[in-house]
C-alpha cells in the first residue's frame, strides 16, 4: 500500500520539499541559459544588444520606482514589525504594491509623452521608439512583480521570487524566438516581453497571496501616515541600492554600442543563475538571526556561524559554474565565448553578495540607519565612479569590475558593522 504523506514523517516530507525546490530552481536556471542562447542565436549581436537595452530600461526604472517601498517592506518583514505597527506583512504588501503600481504608471505615462514629442521632433528615431515602446509600457508590470518578488525573498520564500523572475520572462523569450516570423523585427520580441511581464505580475500577486495570506478585511484600510513617512525616509537608501545594482549596466547601455550590450548581457544573465540557488543582495536569509542571538546569550557567535556557512555555501555554489565557465560560453559561440573574464568577475559579484547576506540582513532587522546609508551610499558611489571612468577604456570590463567593487564594499562594510553591533550588545549586557 502506498504510504501517505503523514506516514512519511516530517523528515521525509522536508526532504521531498527540498528536492522539489532544487528541481524547480534547476529548471529556472536551465530556462535562463536556454532563453539567452536562443535570443543571441536568433538575433545578430547589434539587434540582441538593443533588445537587452530594453531589459535595462524596464528593470532599471522599476528598481528606482519601487526603491523606498521595497526597503520598508523588507524591514517590516525581517524585523517582524507587524505587532508594533498593527499592520500585517500581507496587508502592507498589498497597500504599498498599489502605490508602486500607481507610481510606475505615472512614470510610464510621462515617458510616453516624452517619446511622442521625440517622435514629432525627430522622425528618424521612430524605429527605435517603436522598439522601446513595449519595454516602457512594461515598467508598471515589472515594478509590481519585482516588488512582490523582493518581499517574498525577505519572507524567506525565495523559490517564489525565483519563479516570478525566471520562469515567465524566460519562457516568453523562448516563445518569441520560436514563433517570430522570418526576419521578424525587434518590435515583435519587445511586445512578447511586455506580455511576459504582465503575466509575471499576475503570477507575483498569486504567490504573494499564497505565501503571506492577506487579511482582506484590512486590505482597503488606509495606510497610516507614519508608515508612509517611514517608507519615504528610506528613499535615499532605496535609490542607492538601485544605483548599486543597476547603475553600472545603465552606464554601459548609454555609453556603449548595442553589440557591447549583447556581449555583456550573456555573461551577466549566466552569472545571475547563482542567485537562483543562493539569493544575493535581496535581503533574505536567516530570519530569526537577530532575535535568537540574545536568547542564546551570545551576540557574535550566531552571526559568525551564519557568515561561515554562507562563505562555504557561496564558495561551493560559485565554484561549479566557474569550473565550467569556458565550456558554458562556448555554447554561445563567438564573440560571446571571448567574455570569460567578464563572466568570472560577475560570478565573483555573486559570491561576495552571498557571503555578506547574513550581515546585511542583521543591519536591516535592527535598522542601523547610519551604517546602512554609509554602506549603500559608499558602494554605489564607488561603483558608479569606477564604471564611468573606465567605460571608454575598458568597455564591458568596466561595469563588471565596478559591480564587483560595489559588492565588496557594501558586504565588507556590512560584516564589520554587524560584528561591531554584536560586540556592543555583549558589552551592554
**Closest among 221, 224, 206 to 91, alpha carbons compared:** 221
Residue where a domain stops, chosen among 189, 216, 233: 233
**pLDDT over 90 for what percent of the chain?**
33
**SS3 of 256, please?**
coil
What is the structure's pLDDT at 214? 65
Q: How far apart are CA 2 and CA 19, in angstroms?
A: 20
What is the structure's pLDDT at 184? 63
What is the structure's pLDDT at 385? 96
Q: Is residue 4 part of a domain?
A: no
Residue where a domain stops, chosen among 233, 248, 283: 233
The residue range of the domain holding 267 is 234-429
Res 408 pLDDT > 90: yes
Mean pLDDT within 167-189: 83
Q: Is residue 426 part of a domain?
A: yes
What is the structure's pLDDT at 389? 95
Q: Is residue 52 part of a domain?
A: yes
Q: Are residues 216 and 245 in the same domain?
A: no
Give the CA angle between residues 181, 166, 320 to the nearest 5°: 115
Q: How far apart are CA 74 and CA 380, in angstroms?
A: 20
Q: Are residues 224 and 311 in the same domain?
A: no
Provide the pLDDT confidence category of residue 79 given band limits of 50, 70 and 90: confident
First to last CA, the chain: 57
Q: How many residues does the chain have?
A: 429
Q: Is residue 377 part of a domain?
A: yes
**Cell (9 digits) for 283:** 535581503
Q: What does each C-alpha distance from 390 to 45, 252, 256, 387 come to in angstroms?
A: 23, 10, 12, 5
Q: Are residues 159 and 265 in the same domain?
A: no
For 285, half-sphere exposure in the C-beta direction (CA atoms, 13 angstrom radius) is 28
Q: How far apart are CA 202 and CA 208, in angstroms?
A: 10
Q: Is the pLDDT higher at 126 or at 144? A: 144
Mention every residue, 6+ apart, whose C-beta is less than 8 A from residue 58.
135, 136, 138, 139, 142, 193, 197
Residue where a domain stops, chosen among 233, 266, 296: 233
Q: Is residue 134 part of a domain?
A: yes
Provide the pLDDT confidence category of residue 127 given band limits of 50, 70 and 90: low
Q: Are residues 190 and 273 in the same domain?
A: no
Residue with the three cell numbers 526532504: 15
**Closest among 279, 252, 238 to 377, alpha carbons compared:** 238
Q: Is residue 98 part of a domain?
A: yes
What is the structure's pLDDT at 281? 38
Q: Is residue 104 part of a domain?
A: yes
Res 269 pLDDT > 60: yes
Q: Are residues 208 and 315 in the same domain?
A: no
- Residue 249 in contact with residue 261, Cβ under 8 Å? no
CB environment 338-349: b (16+ within 10 A), e (fewer): ebeebbbbbbbb
Mention every residue, 6+ apart, whose C-beta is less than 8 A from residue 84.
none
Res 118 pLDDT > 90: no
What element of type H or E holds 89?
helix 89-121
**Cell (9 digits) for 337:** 565565448
Q: How far apart are CA 318 and CA 322, in angstroms?
A: 6
* Domains of the chain: total: 2
Q: Are residues 283 and 406 in the same domain?
A: yes
- Residue 166 in contact with residue 107, Cβ under 8 Å? no
Amino acid at each position: 500500500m502506498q504510504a501517505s504523506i503523514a506516514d512519511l514523517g516530517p523528515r521525509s516530507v522536508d526532504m521531498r520539499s527540498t528536492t522539489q525546490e532544487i528541481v524547480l530552481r534547476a529548471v529556472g536556471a536551465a530556462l535562463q541559459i536556454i532563453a539567452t542562447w536562443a535570443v543571441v542565436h536568433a538575433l545578430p549581436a547589434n539587434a540582441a544588444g538593443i533588445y537587452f537595452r530594453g531589459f535595462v530600461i524596464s528593470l532599471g526604472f522599476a528598481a528606482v520606482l519601487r526603491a523606498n517601498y521595497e526597503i520598508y517592506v523588507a524591514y517590516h518583514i525581517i524585523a517582524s514589525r507587524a505587532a508594533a505597527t498593527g499592520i500585517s506583512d500581507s496587508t502592507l504588501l498589498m497597500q504599498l504594491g498599489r502605490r508602486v503600481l500607481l507610481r510606475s504608471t505615472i512614470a510610464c505615462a510621462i515617458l510616453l509623452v516624452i517619446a511622442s514629442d521625440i517622435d514629432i521632433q525627430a522622425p528618424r528615431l521612430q524605429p527605435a521608439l517603436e522598439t522601446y515602446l513595449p519595454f516602457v509600457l512594461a515598467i508598471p508590470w515589472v515594478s509590481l512583480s519585482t516588488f512582490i518578488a523582493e518581499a517574498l525573498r525577505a519572507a524567506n520564500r525565495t523559490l517564489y521570487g525565483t519563479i516570478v523572475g525566471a520562469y515567465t520572462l524566460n519562457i516568453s523569450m523562448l516563445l518569441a524566438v520560436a514563433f517570430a516570423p522570418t526576419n521578424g523585427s525587434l518590435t515583435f520580441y519587445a511586445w512578447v516581453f511586455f506580455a511576459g511581464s504582465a503575466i509575471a505580475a499576475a503570477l507575483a500577486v498569486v504567490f504573494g497571496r499564497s505565501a503571506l495570506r492577506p487579511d482582506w478585511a484590512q486590505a482597503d484600510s488606509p495606510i497610516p501616515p507614519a508608515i508612509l513617512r517611514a517608507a519615504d525616509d528610506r528613499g535615499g537608501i532605496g535609490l542607492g541600492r538601485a544605483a548599486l545594482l543597476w547603475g553600472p549596466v545603465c552606464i554601459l547601455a548609454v555609453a556603449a554600442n548595442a553589440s557591447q550590450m549583447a556581449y555583456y548581457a550573456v555573461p551577466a544573465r549566466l552569472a545571475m543563475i547563482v542567485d537562483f540557488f543562493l539569493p544575493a543582495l535581496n535581503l533574505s536569509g536567516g530570519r530569526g538571526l537577530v532575535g535568537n542571538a540574545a536568547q542564546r546569550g551570545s551576540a557574535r557567535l550566531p552571526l559568525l556561524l551564519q557568515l561561515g556557512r554562507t562563505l562555504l555555501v557561496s564558495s561551493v555554489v560559485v565554484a561549479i559554474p566557474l569550473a565550467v565557465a569556458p565550456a558554458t560560453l562556448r555554447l554561445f559561440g563567438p564573440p560571446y565565448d571571448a567574455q570569460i573574464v567578464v563572466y568570472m568577475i560577475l560570478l565573483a559579484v555573486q559570491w561576495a553578495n552571498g557571503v555578506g547576506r547574513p550581515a546585511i540582513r542583521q543591519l536591516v532587522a535592527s535598522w542601523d540607519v547610519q551604517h546602512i546609508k554609509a554602506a549603500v551610499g559608499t558602494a554605489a558611489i564607488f561603483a558608479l565612479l569606477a564604471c564611468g571612468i573606465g567605460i571608454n577604456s575598458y568597455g564591458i570590463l568596466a561595469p563588471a569590475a565596478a559591480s564587483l567593487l560595489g559588492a565588496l564594499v557594501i558586504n565588507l562594510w556590512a560584516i564589520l558593522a554587524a560584528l561591531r553591533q554584536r560586540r556592543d550588545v555583549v558589552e551592554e549586557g
